[in-house]
Chain A
Amino acid sequence: MATEEWVRAAGYDDVPEEDTLGTEIGGVPVCLYKLDGEIYATDNKCTHGDADLSDGLIQDGCEIECPLHEGRFDIRSGKAVSPPCSDDLRSYPARVEQGVIYIKLVHA
């Protein structure tokens, strides 16, 4: 049975406003985003090429653009929104408690 676990990811202030923070949680590279003060989390590896999304730019308010080929994903859902990216990113629920970001991992 799958188990869920909230894991500490970073301090809230570690993620700059309208920017990203790449980190690793339990061996999984994760990208944290702060949009309008709200925290989001997805896998950090692009589903297309070998690149870290945390090195990319946030475009149009809610999309992360991969630095390698400029394909884009919706930060809020992980959905691939522009080519060459076609496979969605895994996205993680995030919450902030007392200045600490937690994200929810699901273990198979």
Chain B
Amino acid sequence: MQTAAIQLRELSPRFDKTRESLLRARHLPGGVYSSADIYAMEKERIFMTHWLSVGRVEEIPNVGDYMTFSVMNEPILISRPSENEIQVCMNMCLHRGVAVASGCGHAKDFSCPYHAWLFDVGGKLIAAPGMKESEVDMSGARLKPLPVKIWRGWIFTNFAEQPPSFEDYIAPYEKSLWWFQSGECKLADKVEIDVKCNWKFLVENLIDIYHVGVIHKSTFGGFVKGEKLKFQLEQDGGWHTQYEARPHSKGGTQVFPTLPWAQDKSSGIACKAGIYPNLNLSMRSDSLRMWHVWPISPNETRVICYLLFPPEAFSIPRYEEELANYRAFVRQIIAEDAVMVESLQNAAGSKFFQPGPMAPLEEALHHMENHYIDLMTR
């Protein structure tokens, strides 16, 4: 962590350039995308302090349903111990720390695969075989619980000892995102893609309208009128915007029924928002997507895109086929981006790399890159 602080101090003159006003600013220096020390510091300063969405409530609909996940090597267990309760706890046995659950599914309890310590679905220790003679009092012991907040169908958690208020964190989006009625939607599918670049390049890429007309020309770029776009910037690196585009399909034609709350809007409506650090929300007239960007290592990132529709979309003719087309379309977009961000990653590690000036369309990137500097240097 000390090394990271030294590296960040050395980058300080570069940060000053990012801190200039948009039309004079330059992008962040390559070091913040390639340094393992800075990556480790990001874990502590960003991912271990921010509220993070780790799944959808309908992924674990029944009592006893569970799923496991890992945030920068911190293993968590997400479960439904009772009908109206969703719980997140550390997936680490109280004995040696082995993960007590793996994958996802349904369970009446979790038996650690190492020494068979047994936990109920809520994480409470119910048996520790062979420990009768132990003099350590484990009565009432349980897997370490993390705070849980449900927002519009999303399960949020936070790794901090004293997490900031979720209500304050989500307030700007709750107030402004009229279009993001994801609580009225159901999960149709999750698309997961691994990309060989730093997580920030992908978060930035998902905001970057500037590139859309260039590399996504053959998928959806031709339908986005980027130059008319105006961003609303929110506290803590967040942003949202509304613009004209077409539904997300290969030919730009609408496949799924119009979202009930977009009936009175233009058929070309498109909305997007970013919640710092790693969420990107997107709407077209017929669908919602929530992109989650998860750091795996300094130069590896997993993108999980949740595809959401209102209930009526699930009964359209040839639904499975249309969903497969849509899934392929989303994969294609990321494949197009992956080539760019992997090349960016390569440049970030080069001594010849000089961050270039920002484009007027990169206003939200400017906002977010500055928020990043604030978090890492305060």
Contact = CB atoms under 8 A, between A and B. Distances in A.
Interface of A: 49, 67-71, 83-84
A70 B132 CA distance: 10
Contacts of B126: 83-84
A67 B111 CA distance: 13
A48 to B, nearest CB: 8
Q: Which 8 A-B pairs have the closest CB atoms?
A: A69-B127, A70-B129, A69-B118, A68-B116, A69-B129, A84-B126, A84-B127, A84-B118
- Residue from A69, A71, A83 with most neighbouring chain B CB atoms (10 Å): A69
Nearest to A65: B129
A83 B116 CA distance: 14
Interface string B354-366: 0000000000000
A45 to B, nearest CB: 15
Given A67-B129, A69-B129, 8 more contacts: A49-B118, A68-B111, A68-B116, A70-B129, A70-B132, A71-B127, A84-B118, A84-B127
B287 to A, nearest CB: 43
Interface residues of B, number: 9
23 contacts: A49-B111, A49-B116, A49-B118, A67-B129, A68-B111, A68-B116, A68-B129, A69-B111, A69-B116, A69-B118, A69-B127, A69-B129, A70-B127, A70-B129, A70-B130, A70-B132, A71-B127, A83-B126, A83-B127, A84-B109, A84-B118, A84-B126, A84-B127
Contacts of B118: 49, 69, 84
Contacts of B132: 70
Contacts of B127: 69-71, 83-84
A83 B126 CA distance: 8
Contacts of A84: 109, 118, 126-127
Contacts of B111: 49, 68-69
- Which of B118, B127, B132 has the most chain A CB atoms closer than 10 A to its own CB? B127
A67 B130 CA distance: 9
A37 B111 CA distance: 35
A69 B125 CA distance: 11
Contacts of A68: 111, 116, 129
A69 B112 CA distance: 10
A70 to B, nearest CB: 5
A69 B109 CA distance: 11
A82 to B, nearest CB: 10
A55 B198 CA distance: 51
Interface in B120-147: 126-127, 129-130, 132
Contacts of B116: 49, 68-69
A12 to B, nearest CB: 32
Contacts of A83: 126-127
A69 B127 CA distance: 6
B138 to A, nearest CB: 14
A69 B131 CA distance: 10
B81 to A, nearest CB: 15
A83 to B, nearest CB: 6
Nearest to A82: B127
B223 to A, nearest CB: 55
A71 B109 CA distance: 13
Contacts of A67: 129
A67 B116 CA distance: 10
